[in-house]
Structure 1
Amino acid sequence: MPTVVEVVSLLAAVVATWTGVLVLRRSRTSPLALPLAVMMFGASSWATARALLHVARASVPGTVVLHYLVFPGAAAVTAAAYWYFVVLTGRRLSRRAAVLLLVHPTLLLAVLASNPWHEAFLRVAVDGGTVQVGVGPLYWLHSAYCYVLIGAGIALALAAMVRAVPGHRHVFVVAALAATVPAVGNVLTTLLAARPERPHLTPVFFLVSAAIWSWVERFGGHSATVPVSTRQVLEVLDDAVVVLDPRGRVLDANPAAHALLGDLQGVRLQEDGEALPRPARVAIDALRSGPGTLTTDSGAVLDVRVTPLTDAVGRAAGTVVVMRDVTELERLRAELVDQATRDGLTGLHNRRALEERLAAAADDAAASGRPLSVALLDVDHFKAVNDAHGHGVGDQVLAEVGRVLAESTGPGETSARLGGEEFVLLLPGLDPGAAARRAQDLRTRCAQIAVPARTGTVCVTVSAGVAALHPGGSPDDLLRTADEAMYAAKAAGRDRVACAGDPVRG
């Protein structure tokens, strides 16, 4: 009768084979599938050889051969397990590493084939039809190599688990557990080696391991994808991420940070900025300025976020600086703001923007005592232009008047279209006399406008009213006074400039 251990070993072989076949179907879509399948098939070979030892006890040659056949499966499991852990941690098994992994199984097969002559691996003795098997020094060397390789793989997995995103960390725990269980069984078997009828527990533990992988493949799908590490996340981010220690020395920087700031590894950003590479000064400015936007020498606009790090007891552990290039976003934002404050036809500021700038200019004039004047212009007989030539020609006339105003607007001044055919030129720092001269220049230049039409060339004139802000006056008072002066110019015959309180001048 077969023992319980041998029955369980055969069951472990069946479960391992079934799991290996399931996993192998993913070999084209997952880099984890092939090493896991090899691991399962190696475990199946190992467990099968152990299970059949009872059947072959009556045959001395068969028993010896099965003892030899146990170890190639063990070598396959060991190499495949390490291969699996390497891939699981996001690495790629190089050609050189693959060749090195094959050295052990190759040498093992050669040693087993020649063992009857040197018995340095297994010491086989036949006593009355019973096969007694002992171990030699090469067996211990083989076992030590397997333990070290499995341990190295588990260490890789645990180290990668720390770096993995939280949602994928359980994958490493399951993999390490499934690889550790058979190793524990093998260690227990070795400790029991002094007993004559020692049970070999490794295949039994393989059943547990194979059951874990079977469950994972059926419900967890761990062989489908390689877990994502936080390093991988940082590497694909477009944001520049720089990690500093409490002294300001760069501990880490992702590729985006290197592309933006240059090589920062080991740089101490709290040193004199002039002693650092020029790109690194951007990071220094970011630390000094704190959260907000920062414009570099090249004109790039960076959105900067500075986050202090603390340890479990609240002590400073470092700083994370995240910089995002928002140059294009800021350009689009400025463009949208500009579109919201500009007149679509003439490109001048609209009434809303004028009111904001006029209010600010009035406050500044009241605080500084500097004069503030406005010139309000209106196109003469504009309705007749629209009636005679159409609104298309009328729009061209307004656009030309807007062009003249824009070209005549100096620094600190504002030109705007109030609506219809009315325009305003805001003149901070000018008294009424200087403002009237500017209005006369505008009137002269507008008289030179010539817009082609089907019936000939359309020429227009403008009437202007000039007013200055009086002490205690409001922006609305200023515009109303300029409007009254403009109507005075209209009443005096048009194509004139009227200054509030002064005679109308043609």
Structure 2
Amino acid sequence: MPTLVEAVSLLAAVVATATGILVVRRRRTSPLALPLAVMMFGASLWATARALLHVAQGSVPATVALHYLVFPGAAAVAGATFWYLAVLSGRRLSRRAGLLLLVHPVLLVVALVLDPVHEWFLRLHVDGTTVTVGAAPVFWVHTAYCYALVVAAIVLGLGAMVRAVPGHRRVFAVAVLAATIPTVGNVVTTLVAARSENPHLTPAFLLVSAAIWWWVERFGGHSAVVPVTTRQVLDVLDDAVVVLDPRGRVLDANPAARALVGAPDGSLDAHPDAPWGAVLDGDGAGPDEGTLTTATGAVLDVRVTPLTDAVGRAAGTVVVLRDVTELERLRAELVDQATRDGLTGLHNRRALGQRLAEAVDDAGRTGRPLSMVLVDVDHFKAVNDSHGHAVGDAVLAAVGRELAAATRDGETAARLGGEEFVLLLPGVTATEATRRADDVRARCAGLRVPSGRAPVRLTLSAGVATLAPGGTADDMLRAADDAMYAAKDAGRDQVVGAAEPAS
């Protein structure tokens, strides 16, 4: 009858083999399948050799051979554990790294083949049918190397688990647990077996690990995909993400950040101590939350989120930047379209109302003069009736061009509606406004607008008003309108000033 240890060892071998067969079928579709299959087949060899050691007692050659067979299985488990967790952590093993992982198994096989002669690995003492095994120096090198590989793998897994998105952290937790259980068990049972006649219980721990992997592959499907890490998420974001320390210096940045605001070499700092703001706007101050225009003219939307530690101290800042240059251009274009007259390109009545209110407020605060010219195209209805609306539109567009040419910085030319136009002239006195209005009238009088018959000549009537202290926008508009009708009553094609400042 097999002992409990033999039964557990054989069960571990069966579960590990079944898991390996289950997984190896996915080797063409998953980078995790092959290392996990190697791990399971190595565990099966390890557990099988341990189980048969108890059965082979009494046969010296079989016992010696089985003692040696344990170690290739252990080497396969250690190497495949590192391979698996490295790939799971998002690393791609190069061909060179793969060859380095093979160095240990190759040297191990050479050492085991030559060991009966040199006893580099095990010291075997045969007393009748009893084989006593002792450790030689190469055994300890092999053991230390295997432990180092597994510990490195566990560290990789834990690090990746911290960086992973929450939904995938359990994948790393399961993998690390499955790697840790047989490792801890092997350390403990090796120490116990070295000091007593107790059997080696590593296969029992391998059974637990193999059972975990069987459950994962049967129900969890973890080998089907490498989990997503937070770094991978950041790397594929189109938004730029910059992490700053409490002093405002760059700790990390995703590729989008380096492409958006980085130097030609891909760095975000002009020199090791340069704050991030120096790279973005050149003054070292860094942007506030909102929008920022870089030296290249790009407009960035900026979102700043402070980070604090567990006790509330400043730990740094996360800055998310998005290139909104095109959006800002479109927004400005829409705003301009909403405030412009489609025919003449001048400001429309709505925009005039806003600018007039601002100009009146400014004149009230500063005491600067504010003048307005109200312009009307003479006999415009007759032009439409005689030549058609297309020619009438051409007349209005020609007047709009002359008014636009007459404006200076801070002044506004607008189409009030129909054939009426306005020049809003902050800082301009009534006398100067009248002179400039007459210049526009004279230029328009010289225009000839083509039509189907003779070119159309046009004249303007204009009224000029200046805001009086305490006056309102409506007062000034009313005074300019009265003056404009006075110009029409006086014979048209002339400029008339209001009798007195609008109040």
Classify 1:266/1:90 alpha carbon distance in 2 versus 1 (closer, same or farther; 3 Å): farther
1:110, distance to aligned residue in structure 2 (A)? 1.1
> Amino acid of the residue matched to residue 220 of structure 1?
G
Distance in 2 (CA, whole Å) between partners of 1:266 and 1:319 is: 20
Residue 365 of structure 2 corresponds to residue 367 of structure 1: yes
Residue 292 of structure 2 corresponds to residue 294 of structure 1: yes
Indicate the larger mover: 32-41 or 342-351: 32-41
Distance in 2 (CA, whole Å) between partners of 1:200 and 1:492 is: 121
Correspondences of 1:124-203 after superposition (within 5 Å): 124-194=124-194, 198-203=198-203
Q: 2:468 maps to what in 1?
A: 470
1:132, distance to aligned residue in structure 2 (A)? 4.3
Correspondences of 1:309-320 after superposition (within 5 Å): 309-320=307-318
1:119, distance to aligned residue in structure 2 (A)? 2.7
> Amino acid of the residue matched to residue 468 of structure 2?
H
Q: Which segments of 5 or more consecutive residues in structure 1 lack a partner in the other structure?
A: 271-275
Q: 2:451 maps to what in 1?
A: 453
Pick one of 411, 414, 427 that aligns with 1:413: 411
Classify 1:215/1:405 alpha carbon distance in 2 versus 1 (closer, same or farther; 3 Å): farther
Q: Is the 8 A contact 1:252 1:265 kept in 2?
A: no
Deviations 1:26-53 (A, max 9, x none): 4334332222222122222222333344
Deviations 1:256-301 (A, max 9, x none): 444424342874357xxxxx99636647221xx5333333444333
Distance in 2 (CA, whole Å) between partners of 1:26 and 1:388 is: 85
Distance in 2 (CA, whole Å) between partners of 1:388 and 1:35 is: 90
Q: 2:376 maps to what in 1?
A: 378
TM-score by length of 1: 0.88
Distance in 1 (CA, whole Å) between partners of 2:17 and 2:343 is: 78
Q: CA RMSD in A?
A: 2.9
Classify 1:333/1:277 alpha carbon distance in 2 versus 1 (closer, same or farther; 3 Å): closer
Deviations 1:347-382 (A, max 9, x none): 211111100100111111122222211111222333
Pick one of 425, 430, 433 that aligns with 1:432: 430
Classify 1:449/1:30 alpha carbon distance in 2 versus 1 (closer, same or farther; 3 Å): farther
Distance in 2 (CA, whole Å) between partners of 1:452 and 1:168 is: 74
Indicate the larger mover: 5-14 or 71-80: 5-14
> Amino acid of the residue matched to residue 46 of structure 1?
W
Q: Is the 8 A contact 1:251 1:265 kept in 2?
A: no
1:91, distance to aligned residue in structure 2 (A)? 2.0
1:427, distance to aligned residue in structure 2 (A)? 0.9
> Amino acid of the residue matched to residue 89 of structure 1?
S
Distance in 2 (CA, whole Å) between partners of 1:236 and 1:452 is: 59
Q: 1:69 maps to what in 2?
A: 69
Distance in 2 (CA, whole Å) between partners of 1:218 and 1:456 is: 92
Indicate the larger mover: 200-209 or 455-464: 455-464
> Amino acid of the residue matched to residue 285 of structure 1?
A
Indicate the larger mover: 63-72 or 338-347: 63-72
Residue 122 of structure 2 corresponds to residue 122 of structure 1: yes
Q: Is the 8 A contact 1:6 1:54 kept in 2?
A: yes
Q: What SS class does the counterpart of residue 192 from structure 1 fall into?
A: helix
1:179, distance to aligned residue in structure 2 (A)? 0.3
Q: What SS class does the counterpart of residue 223 from structure 1 fall into?
A: helix
1:9, distance to aligned residue in structure 2 (A)? 2.4
Distance in 2 (CA, whole Å) between partners of 1:265 and 1:495 is: 65
Classify 1:341/1:124 alpha carbon distance in 2 versus 1 (closer, same or farther; 3 Å): same
Q: 1:351 maps to what in 2?
A: 349
> Amino acid of the residue matched to residue 470 of structure 1?
A
Distance in 2 (CA, whole Å) between partners of 1:182 and 1:350 is: 80
Residue 111 of structure 2 corresponds to residue 111 of structure 1: yes
Q: How many residues align?
A: 495
Q: Is the 8 A contact 1:382 1:421 kept in 2?
A: yes
Identity of aligned residues (%): 71
Q: 1:7 maps to what in 2?
A: 7
Residue 448 of structure 2 corresponds to residue 443 of structure 1: no
Q: 1:48 maps to what in 2?
A: 48
Correspondences of 1:206-245 after superposition (within 5 Å): 206-245=206-245
Indicate the larger mover: 73-82 or 259-268: 259-268
Q: 1:387 maps to what in 2?
A: 385
Q: Which segments of 5 or more consecutive residues in structure 2 lack a partner in the other structure?
A: none
> Amino acid of the residue matched to residue 116 of structure 1?
P
Q: Is the 8 A contact 1:251 1:266 kept in 2?
A: no
Classify 1:460/1:20 alpha carbon distance in 2 versus 1 (closer, same or farther; 3 Å): farther
> Amino acid of the residue matched to residue 311 of structure 2?
V
Distance in 2 (CA, whole Å) between partners of 1:376 and 1:265 is: 56
1:494, distance to aligned residue in structure 2 (A)? 2.9
Q: Is the 8 A contact 1:32 1:223 kept in 2?
A: yes
Indicate the larger mover: 444-453 or 359-368: 444-453
Q: What SS class does the counterpart of residue 418 from structure 1 fall into?
A: strand
Q: Is the 8 A contact 2:280 2:294 kept in 1?
A: no
Distance in 2 (CA, whole Å) between partners of 1:303 and 1:191 is: 61
> Amino acid of the residue matched to residue 497 of structure 1?
V
Deviations 1:304-326 (A, max 9, x none): 44444332222333344444443
Distance in 2 (CA, whole Å) between partners of 1:109 and 1:355 is: 92
Q: Is the 8 A contact 2:39 2:77 kept in 1?
A: yes
TM-score by length of 2: 0.88
Q: 2:493 maps to what in 1?
A: 495
> Amino acid of the residue matched to residue 499 of structure 1?
G
Distance in 2 (CA, whole Å) between partners of 1:147 and 1:138 is: 14
Q: 1:273 maps to what in 2?
A: none
Distance in 1 (CA, whole Å) between partners of 2:42 and 2:270 is: 45
Q: 2:332 maps to what in 1?
A: 334
1:400, distance to aligned residue in structure 2 (A)? 2.3
Q: Is the 8 A contact 1:443 1:462 kept in 2?
A: yes
Q: Is the 8 A contact 1:261 1:283 kept in 2?
A: no
Distance in 2 (CA, whole Å) between partners of 1:91 and 1:123 is: 40
Distance in 2 (CA, whole Å) between partners of 1:169 and 1:8 is: 31
Classify 1:2/1:292 alpha carbon distance in 2 versus 1 (closer, same or farther; 3 Å): same
Classify 1:266/1:493 alpha carbon distance in 2 versus 1 (closer, same or farther; 3 Å): closer
Distance in 1 (CA, whole Å) between partners of 2:221 and 2:344 is: 63
Q: 1:18 maps to what in 2?
A: 18
